[in-house]
């Protein structure tokens, strides 16, 4: 199963940006966590980060074309980018929206995500562990899909 782990603006600054909110884990550590967890689960994981909205849109379009699963931390774009939301709506594979902080316990403008309505699920407030949990969830969905297909073919 191919999984795109996509991260929006400012996430490349993890470990140095607002450590009281986002923790001390660096972006390189986050990439390693995702790649290691993916290998352990037999997932083909690609991790990317951008501060350019058009670049994220291109990655979402590619994931849609591939039918790949996506773990997305849209960061600030969560709250206002209809373009990111619309690209997410085109995905054919599952989408797990992840936020390191609990967006519902922060400033009011962060309480709503335009992406959540088109996501399979949302994980927020669990730090970078949310990415690991999202990968485990996608692995579980993939396993269930294979079991259902086996039952359909044996019937």
Task: Provide CB contacts within 8 A for 93, sequence distance 6+.
Answer: 63, 66, 67, 68, 69, 70
Query: Which residue out of 4, 22, 27, 142 is catalytically annotated?
Result: 22
Query: Which residue out of 99, 131, 139, 142 is catalytically annotated?
Result: 99
* Annotation marks residue 137 as catalytic: no
Q: Which residues are annotated as a binding site for substrate?
A: 73, 79, 86, 100-101, 110
Q: Which residues are annotated as a binding site?
A: 73, 79, 86, 100-101, 110
Report the candidate in 136, 109, 154, 146 with the shortest Cα–Cα distance to residue 36.
Answer: 136
The count of residues in the chain is 155
Q: Strands 44-49, 2-7: parallel, antiparallel or unpaired by DSSP? A: parallel
* Annotation marks residue 104 as catalytic: no
Active site residues: 22, 99
């Amino acid at each position: 199963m191919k999984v795109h782990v996509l991260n929006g603006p400012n996430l490349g600054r993890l470990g140095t940006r607002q450590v009281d909110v986002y923790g001390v884990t660096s972006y390189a550590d986050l990439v390693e966590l995702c790649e290691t967890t993916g290998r352990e689960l037999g997932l083909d994981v690609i991790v990317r980060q951008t501060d350019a909205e058009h670049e994220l849109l291109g990655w979402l379009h590619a994931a849609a074309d591939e039918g790949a699963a996506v773990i997305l931390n849209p960061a600030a774009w969560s709250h206002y980018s209809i373009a990111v939301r619309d690209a997410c709506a085109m995905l054919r594979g599952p989408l797990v929206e992840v936020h390191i902080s609990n967006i519902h316990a922060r400033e009011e403008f962060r309480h709503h995500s335009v992406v959540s309505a088109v996501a399979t699920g949302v994980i927020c407030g669990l730090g970078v562990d949310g990415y690991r949990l999202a990968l485990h969830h996608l692995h579980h969905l993939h396993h269930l899909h294979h079991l259902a297909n086996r039952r359909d073919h044996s019937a």
